[in-house]
A and B are shown apart, each in its own frame.
Chain A
Amino acid sequence: TMAFRHKNTRRIEGLDSNVWVEFTKVAADPSIVNLGQGLPDISPPSYVKEELAKAAAVDRLNQYTRGFGHPSLVKALSQVYERVSGRKIDPLTDILVTVGAYGSLFSTIQALIEEGDEVIIIEPFYDCYEPMVKMAGAKPVFIPLRCKKVGNSASSADWVLDPDELANKFNSKTKAIILNTPHNPIGKVFTREELQVIADLCIKHDTLCISDEVYEWLVYKGNKHIKIAALPGMWERTVTIGSAGKTYSVTGWKLGWSIGPQNLIKHLQVVHQNTLYTCATPLQEALAQALWIDCKRMDDPDCYFYSLSRELESKRDRMAQLLQEAGLKPVIPDGGYFMIVDVSTLNVDLSGVDEREPYDYRFVKWMITSKKLSAIPLSAFCGPETKRQFEKYIRFCFIKKDSTLDAAEVILKNWNKQTA
């Protein structure tokens, strides 16, 4: 018999491993308090669930809808984002609905990035950016956020890009930069000044900006989410990505969207029509109805876009307190629902855990086994050069119900007792 020649294509070579596949398996044990993967265990708002039940009851909403986005959904999105950005957004040409923000990232990268291109990725980064850029045949160019404070950082605002270092990453091959604000995992909310530095470079080098803004509504007191597409010269070169999963705590709906100028979005639409064609109808209808409800009350503090972030702010503060009581110094995030913390200060003996892996991987595995608490190692979010810089940190997710945080509290309060 012939040797089996049907290997994978070059485009997916080396892209088979994935931090989530590894860690969701490990944390699937229900006795473990899971603060790892970014999924809420709080309930979505009841009206959101009701809208889905209503949509599913309408027969024609169980059949195909418009490929690039269900009409009522793209209309609702255009209304919400016109409100936010002050710019006219054409629902048919400036918006594409995708399978989660993940699908938007994929469509954008497949549409606009190819071999010969370089794409700047800010570290730490949501882990899919690197393999997606590689699958498109392009070269990821990394630049780390660096802590500007000597000693331990107290806030996500301490983590900044060095403007000169950033400028040096741009060259004639730079097709795009991927921006994530509010930032996962650090929780940084890029300021207008910081965005202007990035924008200036994009304009100077005629570079595209892929702006992952899935946590756009989750900003805490004293901070404002600014859309880089709103800066002068940026609308025409930016694809802005959003997520129903993060907006409404429905990660299992897998709906996201890309918004931008027609001359960019049209290429994403081509990718979409050749990859999955259309997204699920009843989910899109339900999302549209939920968005209308909240769009109408965007002047009201009860609007879910604002009330969720208030709810999360108190969880953030509680999470920070628990970690501080365990002797740790967490980096308090200005946005998002993650918090990173340097665990090397605990000086835990990890000699029993696989020596070949980075420190944070080993720590998390030890923590899962001995403390029944899970988190995600930060070096999963870094390129090869910076793993040493970030391997002292682990990431906790705090969009969790009170009983989950209570269980975490018990573990963290008893931490020192057991290790003493």
Chain B
Amino acid sequence: LPSAKASTHFLHPSLQAKMSRQLQARRLEGTEKNIWVEFVKLAATYSKVNLGQGFPDFPPPDFLKEAFVRALGGENHMLHQYTRAFGHPPLVKILAQFFEKLLGRDLDPMTNVMVTVGAYQALFCCFQAFVEEGDEVIIIEPFFDCYEPMVKMAGGTPVFVPLRLKDPKDGKLMSSAVWQLDPTELASKFSDRTKAIVLNSPNNPLGKVFSRAELELIATLCVKHDVLCISDEVYEWLVFDGKEHTRIASLQGMWDRTVTIGSAGKTFSVTGWKVGWTVGPNRLLQHLRTVHQNSVYHCATAAQEAVAQGFQRELELYGTPDSYFIQLPKELQQKRDQMVQSLDAVGMKPIIPEGTYFLVADISEFKSDVPDAPDSDEPYDSRFAKWMVKNKGLAAIPLSAFYCGAHKNNYNHFIRFCFAKEDSTLKAANDILQKWKRERTGP
């Protein structure tokens, strides 16, 4: 590049125009920060026990690992080459079969299902296909953090509506069901510019499982205002205490306006495989296909083949005790209870999640360890989480990470723990917490 000292009249006219413009596209504005880049680094550097980022530290199920090995080593080396762009045929076929049962309608694997690089890319396709400048998208707080930057990158305006924490009953541990939308407040967020609402149930980070009644409330508003629903259901199998996961696409008037998103990573404990999918009407999926074919085009073949075999097994075992979809939530419920007990015993107040493998706990009692810093812009829980990983070796994520900038201090005394961990990991976490408590209550 020419030196800044160069007199501009020696510069080619193109350069004069260029030098006043920024290098990167404006669509990136407001999307540069990412909580994970920072917290994953901190966990990697300091943590002895990592309950931060959401991934299991136990192995994927044997049947799935075996399916992958079969796909790789088999006679058919064409599994190392491109497959069908919108989804490997065996996978879309089995997904269609599975979701036909769950949604109670016929599905065409070629037009009602599309495979993506994780649920993350499914979300991206939805926003790119349907959201542009002038559109508003309702996001329920707290939210999986990528929704906001994705809406912004698509040129849309996020409109936030909070789940509000009802007053705690003294002494009793609360369920994630206490986080609720105010119906009037929710209705007020819908305008004639509202393009879509993003729903995440079971909800990350709270673990809330929206009830049928709550979903009907949302559905009624979607129908009334002719709004799309982007339904992130990656934790659909991880529900506890006999609760039921209701799929909003199965509610009256919703199939035609809903894209339902799922994830092999969460379903089969293989977050590193990055296989996700969308299910919905062709009228919506055709546009997701256009985005997909102009952005990544194909997804990796062998992982899709293995996931297809995983689903085949689950279809055959559906509803039986051997089903992974029954065993995994059962195991996770126990781990949840273990984690809840650990936290409660030391004075952190966990909110018992109805689903997902996350829970949030109120760390107000520990505030003396991390005094307020009035000059700091950083939300309290973020400072607390950083202090905790550096000084106690325990990694967790501040709840403020899941709020928009303006609302980061609304609930700034909660941190999120991931409990999809081996019992030994949870025990090690418990040891850290117990030791910490002794240090605080000691002489």
Contacts and interface: CB of A to CB of B under 8 A. Distances in A.
B226 A2 contact: yes
Contact of A252 (B146, B154, B296, B302): B302
B293 A252 contact: no
> Looking at chain B, what size class is its interface with the partner chain?
35 or more
A172 B17 contact: yes
B299 to A, nearest CB: 6
A60 interface: yes
B318 interface: no
Nearest to B117: A276
Contact of A63 (B226, B271, B296): B271
A253 B304 CA distance: 11
B13 interface: yes
Interface in A54-106: 56-57, 59-67, 99-100, 102-103, 106
A43, A110, A132: most-surrounded residue (chain B CB, <10 A): A110
A11 B300 contact: no
Interface string B43-78: 000000000010111111000010011001100011
Contact of B300 (A8, A44, A254): A254
A282 B130 contact: no
A4, A11, A52, A263: most-surrounded residue (chain B CB, <10 A): A11
Contacts of B300: 99, 252-254, 280, 283
Interface in A371-393: none
Contacts of B82: 37, 39, 251-252
A172 B18 contact: yes
B18 to A, nearest CB: 5
Main secondary structure of the interface of B (DSSP, over half): helix
Nearest to B18: A206
Interface stretch (B118-126, B240-248, B356-364): B118-126
Given A39-B82, A62-B273, A49 B72 contact: yes
A41 B272 contact: no
A407 interface: no
Interface string B125-162: 00011111000000000000010011001100000000
A170 to B, nearest CB: 7
A251 B77 CA distance: 11
Nearest to A105: B295
A204 interface: yes
Nearest to A132: B294
A206 B272 contact: no
Interface in A189-245: 204-206, 236
A121 interface: no
B31, B129, B270, B290: most-surrounded residue (chain A CB, <10 A): B290
A250 interface: yes
A204 B28 CA distance: 27
B156 to A, nearest CB: 10
B27, B34, B287, B303: most-surrounded residue (chain A CB, <10 A): B27
B3 interface: no
A358 B24 CA distance: 38
Given A16-B286, A275-B295, A110 B27 contact: yes
B296 A254 contact: yes
Contacts of A279: 117, 274
Contact of B1 (A103, A236, A252): A236
Interface of B: 1, 12-19, 23-28, 31-32, 34, 36-37, 40, 53, 55-60, 65, 68-69, 72-73, 77-85, 117-118, 120-121, 124, 128-132, 146, 149-150, 153-154, 195, 226, 228, 256-257, 269-274, 283-284, 286-287, 289-291, 293-303
Interface of A: 2, 4-12, 15-16, 18, 20-21, 24, 37, 39-41, 43-44, 49, 52-53, 56-57, 59-67, 99-100, 102-103, 106, 110-114, 128, 131-132, 135-136, 170-174, 204-206, 236, 249-254, 263-264, 267, 270-271, 273-283
Chain A to chain B: the 9 pairs with minimum beta-carbon distance, closest first: A281-B272, A252-B301, A172-B17, A172-B14, A114-B25, A59-B59, A267-B24, A8-B287, A63-B55
